[in-house]
Amino acid sequence: MNKANVVICGTGSYVPDHIITNEDLEKSAPTNKEWVQSVLGIEERRRLNKEESTSDMSAKAGIRALDMAKMSPEEVDLLVIGTITPDRMVPSLSTIVQRKIGARNAVAFDINAACAGFVFSMISAKQFLDNNYFKNALIIGADAMSIMTDYKDKTCVFYGDAAGAVVLKKSNSENGIISTYFGSDGESRDLVTTFGGNAEYPASYEVVDRRLHYLIMRGKEVGTTAKRIIPYAMKKALEEACITTDELQYLVPHQPNQTLLKRCAEILNIPQNKVVITLDKYGNASSANIPLALDKINREGKLKDGDKIGMVTIGAGWTWGSAVVQWGQ
């Protein structure tokens, strides 16, 4: 195994305290709470509180990760945020968060890779650290899916709001990010998308009347593709790391639904007790899924020095990414 020199030295996460249950969604959308819980495995999800924004969630998750890493915001060299729900189109979410947390010495930018935003951000930041351009990075995945969710549509049951963060540092340790893989395929732009509010369909009364400013998802096609791509992407990172699935202590995946994740785990020959699940309480929080789940098991004390963790995700576009991390500093 190649010596790794970019380690995760802190994790953090944040979810709003406003809970949306399956019973709540039955009141506005054509959905069934028994089906949502038994098939999707989602019991509830979180929604932004009044006067709360994506940057607020990001800042809180970021500060918690920095506290664990014993770093001050002023020490951050690079701040990258994966998101599809920035506070504003301009300026970037990362610069807003930079101001909120006081990371005045950082270079800050966003990455839009849909649900793969966190993994794309982590892989991008790793290159800067590998090349000695920066010594550390704060990576955040954050999405307020409630702002683009149509609560009259059945797809509303999938999504929630959350943020998660990690701090990366250069290190001479044998631990760290062992391998990464990512890719994209732009042939599927209409399967998961929001038409309205941008250059193709600028904001207008017609756009709102036609509900084009809400996210649409063609579930069957999305599920078929995810079932193929998630195992493929994880295998690519495992091959690069020269390890097998038997050597993984945990799989930290995207959180679309439990039925899909069970099938992907079966394809990868990974026992269900190794798959970290957060979708039951938080739904699909897009870019936040992986860092939220990672912070969960980290703060529960489940991660031990030398543990190998697989991360894998797929997002609209398509975009996909994976990584193998050996835990510890």
Active site residues: 115, 254, 284
On the 0-12 / 13-18 / 19+ scale of CB atoms within 10 A, 109 is: middle
What single letter denotes the amino acid at residue 113? A
β-sheet bridge partners, residue 196: 201
Task: Compute, in degrees rounded to 10, the torsion defined by CA atoms 131, 236, 302, 284.
Answer: 100
3-state helix vs strand vs coil in the chain, percent to 5? 40, 25, 35
Cis amide bond preceding 327, omega within 30:
no
Cis amide bond preceding 91, omega within 30:
yes
Tokens of 308: 């190998």
